[in-house]
């Protein structure tokens, strides 16, 4: 953790909804005039799209059905840790971008599914990471020790799968069967490298649907925000003004001493109310140090 160069990290599985959380933070950054260096977790995958496809085929041929983007062999965990450490110490580091589609790739004159060249981070007030591994810890790395604020986005697993199936079918042209195969292949790494991160986060947001999601593989629609509750758990509730949150967010309630439950449609409002003061404190602490 760094007073001079703070780090905020959002971590969550594929289809969890981390991109929506990122949009909320971008609105906070805009409103509070905070210059954040944005890091996309996909840029720390080890292989580009073609290489990953080739590696996957080799692993399957060798009898390995568990090789996935969730695990250490397919990611640059050491480089991600180096970035967090370097930024916390000096406010500098290097990043690249993963070009998901034609629109992202066009300005770089590269094919989609490839990485841009590594480049130095621009001057910034803080580092903001969004991806799969913001709180990863293994036998050789511990990325989770560097962020000043770690947020987990963790829908109940059936909802997570529904969101992933619908996203991958709509934006990537995959079939339900192909997405199901991906979910099954990732399950080992999901259990060993994704789930443990949520015990290291400072705040978790878990969306819980109030409609039947018992078979996510046949769900025709994604449950809407109004068909959900969001369970917000604080690892350390000290300093959290729960009475204020309860008064501001109608129909919310406390389920445990460190947990507030809000209507799904109020999730963005809850994030604004909770995280704006966090950003204030990080920036005030930073200003006090650099004076």
Which position has the higher pLDDT, 101 or 290?
101
Q: Which pLDDT tens digit goes with each residue over 147-206?
A: 999 999 998 989 988 988 998 888 778 888 988 988 999 999 999 999 999 999 999 999
Coil/strand/helix, residue 27 = helix
**Is 162 in contact with 219 (CB distance < 8 Å)?**
yes
Please state, in angstroms and rounded to a whole number, the distance separating the CA atoms of residues 147 and 271: 18
**Per-residue pLDDT averaged across 254-280, rounded?**
96
Query: 15-19, 64-68, 100-104, 207-211: lowest mean pLDDT where?
Result: 15-19
Query: 290 pLDDT band (50/70/90 cuts)?
Result: confident
In the DSSP assignment, the letter for residue 94 is: E
CA distances to 37, 126, 218, 227 from 279, in Å:
14, 10, 41, 30
**Which of 23, 20, 13, 139 shows the shortest CA–CA distance to 81?**
139
Q: Which pLDDT tens digit goes with each residue over 98-157?
A: 999 999 999 999 999 999 999 999 999 999 999 999 999 999 999 999 999 999 999 898
Backbone angles phi, psi at 127, to 5 degrees: -105, 135
**Is 129 in contact with 150 (CB distance < 8 Å)?**
no
SS3 content of the chain, % helix, strand, coil (to 5): 45, 20, 35
pLDDT at 277: 94
**Is 270 in contact with 230 (CB distance < 8 Å)?**
yes
> What DSSP line would sit under 139-166, residue for residue?
SS-BGGGS-SEEEEE---HHHHHHHHHH
Place of tokens 């041929």: 61
Tell me: pLDDT of 15 over 80.
no
> What does the block give as tokens for 30?
């805009």
Report the chain's mean pLDDT, rounded to a whole number: 94
Using alpha carbons only, how large is the chain's radius of gyration in Å?
19
pLDDT at 63: 93
Query: 17 pLDDT band (50/70/90 cuts)?
Result: confident
Neighbours of 106 (CB within 10 A): 11
Query: 39 pLDDT band (50/70/90 cuts)?
Result: very high
All residues at 6 or more sequence positions from 223 whose CB lies less than 8 Å from its CB, including other chains = 159, 162, 209, 210, 211, 213
CA distances to 13, 36, 69, 74, 99 from 49, in Å:
18, 28, 11, 11, 10
- What percent of the chain clears pLDDT 90, i.e. is strictly above it? 82
Does the model's pTM come out above 0.85?
Answer: yes
Helices (H), the chain: 18-31, 49-61, 77-90, 102-105, 157-172, 176-189, 242-248, 267-290
Tell me: pLDDT of 6 over 80.
yes
């Amino acid at each position: 953790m760094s007073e001079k160069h703070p780090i905020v990290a959002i971590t969550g599985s594929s289809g969890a909804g981390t991109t929506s959380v990122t949009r909320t933070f971008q609105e906070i950054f805009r409103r509070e005039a905070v210059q954040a260096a944005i890091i996309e977790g996909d840029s720390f995958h080890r292989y580009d799209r073609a290489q990953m496809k080739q590696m996957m085929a080799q692993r399957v041929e060798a009898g390995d059905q568990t090789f996935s983007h969730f695990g250490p062999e397919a990611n640059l965990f050491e480089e991600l840790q180096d970035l967090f450490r370097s930024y916390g110490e000096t406010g500098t580091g290097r990043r690249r971008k993963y070009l998901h589609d034609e629109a992202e790739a066009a300005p770089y004159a590269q094919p989609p599914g490839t990485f841009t060249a590594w480049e130095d981070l621009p001057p910034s007030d803080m580092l903001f990471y969004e991806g799969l591994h913001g709180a990863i810890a293994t036998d050789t790395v511990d990325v989770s020790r560097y962020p000043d604020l770690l947020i987990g986005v963790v829908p109940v697993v059936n909802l997570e799968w529904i969101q992933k199936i619908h996203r991958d079918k709509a934006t990537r042209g995959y079939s339900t069967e192909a997405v199901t195969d991906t979910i099954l292949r990732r399950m080992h790494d999901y259990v060993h490298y994704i789930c443990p991160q949520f015990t290291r986060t400072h705040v978790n947001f878990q969306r819980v649907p109030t409609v039947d999601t018992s078979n996510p593989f046949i769900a025709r629609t994604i449950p809407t925000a109004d068909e959900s509750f969001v369970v917000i758990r604080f690892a350390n509730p000290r300093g959290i003004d729960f009475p204020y949150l309860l008064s501001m967010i109608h129909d919310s309630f406390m389920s445990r001493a460190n947990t507030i439950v809000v209507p799904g449609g109020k999730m963005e409002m809850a994030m604004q109310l909770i995280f704006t003061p966090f950003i204030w404190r990080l920036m005030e602490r930073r200003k006090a140090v650099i004076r």
